[in-house]
Amino acid sequence: MTVLPLTGLGEVREGADLAELLAGALGPLAPREGDVLCVSTKIVSKALGLRVAPEERAAAIARATVRTVARRLHTRVVTSVVQIASGPVMAAAGVDSSNAPDGPLLLPEDPDACARELREGLVRRLGVELGVVLTDTSSRIWRVGVSDIALGAAGVAALEDLRGGFDADGRALTVTVRNLADELAAAADLVKGKAGGIPAALVRGVPGACAGDVPARELSRTGADDWFRRPSLESVWVALGLAPAQEPIARMSPEPAPERIARALEVAALPRPGRGPYRASAAEVTRPSGGRHIVVECADGSAASLADAAVLAERIRTALGAESLGEALPEIPVLICPDPEEAPR
């Protein structure tokens, strides 16, 4: 396999004929049948003029969001991790300010359509049936760091179904479907990248790379296939009945136990849609001996107030459990005090 960088493209401006520019850069590489051209989606966005003013970035992210997966606070900046219209889940909806001197760049709404249009233009100019992958940098669940993935694809077997074949020991393959488009995108990124000013690379010699035409949209797990629609904290908050606007924002960095305990109390006390506030309240109490517990006090000692206190106590235990999933909290008893006058201190 060979990965060849495309050099000499220069800065791509709005309105540029991207197929013409890439065809010229591909000439010295003598493209062949079965080659795959991996192109940074950023230069597609530049050619299409998909820019916003810096002060409009937050609004642009909101418009591009299909659903919010999580929000995290880093110093004073809130990063939204969201699903975009074409399927992938990305930080800030893929809106990127790096290598964008004229303002943040948006992703195309339909990267597969952009890949098809670009491929058609290249095939027409070069007379060679090659594949096209539009790439972007993204992180992956449970993995540190970023790599390039495929956002759009045309003329590429983006998914290579190996089921029905056999491994080296002769065992039948029953579940293996290779994400070939992402592997091509990652390979191409080894010779291009943000700092090198090389936004495209030609990948040659991958058997079967162009033996099908599967759009990159098929690479995103969505709907019932998405096992991780929300992180652990947010999943519990949804189960507790919080509306999206009620969800607090956790920090990216590890948070101290007192901060997580306070958030659990806040989350538990929020009223669920369709019902009023609880006829009970809760507070963390520190004993003189240094031990801590949470006291749930009834408002007036009535049966309704006691029922609310019991519900609130269980919500607190659930919220504390969610806060303990990432890093265990110290054990904190949750006590119900039926009589406000006899609350333990």
- Residues 112-151: tens digit of each pLDDT: 999 999 999 999 999 999 999 999 999 888 889 999 999 9
Whether pLDDT at 254 is above 80: yes
What band does 34 get if pLDDT is binned at 50, 70 and 90? very high
CATH of domain 2-222: 3.30.1330.100
What lies within 8 Å, CB to CB, of 245 at 6+ separation is none
CA–CA distance, 129 with 120 (Å, rounded to integer): 9
- Tens-digit pLDDT profile for residues 159-212: 887 766 777 777 766 666 889 999 999 999 999 866 678 999 999 999 999 999
For the chain, the structural domain boundaries read 2-222, 232-342
What pLDDT does 209 receive? Answer: 94
Q: What's the pLDDT score for residue 256?
A: 94
**pLDDT score of 99 more than 90:** no
pLDDT of residue 175: 60
pLDDT digits (tens, 9 = 90+) for 261-306: 999 999 999 987 777 788 889 998 887 666 789 999 998 888 999 9
pLDDT tens for 53-78 read 999 999 999 999 999 999 999 888 99
Name the pTM for this structure.
0.87
Tens of pLDDT, residues 314-339: 999 999 999 999 899 999 999 998 87
Average pLDDT of the chain, as a whole number: 90
Convert the chain into a string of H (helix), E (strand) and C (coil). Answer: CEEEECCCCCCCCCCCCHHHHHHHHHHHHCCCCCCEEEEEHHHHHHHHCCECCHHHHHHHHHHHEEEEEEEEEECCEEEEEEEECCCCEEEHHHCECCCCCCCCECCCCCHHHHHHHHHHHHHHHHCCCCEEEEEEEEECCCCCCEEEEEEEEECCCCEEECCCCECCCCCECCCCEEEHHHHHHHHHHCCCECCCCECEEEEECCCCCCCCCCCHHHHCCCHHHCCCCCCHHHHHHHHCCCCHHHCCCEECCCCCHHHHHHHHHHHHHCCCCCCCCCCEEEEEEECCCCCEEEEEEECCCCHHHHHHHHHHHHHHHHHHHHHCCCCCCCCCCEEEECCHHHCCC
Check whether 213 has a pLDDT greater than 60.
Answer: yes
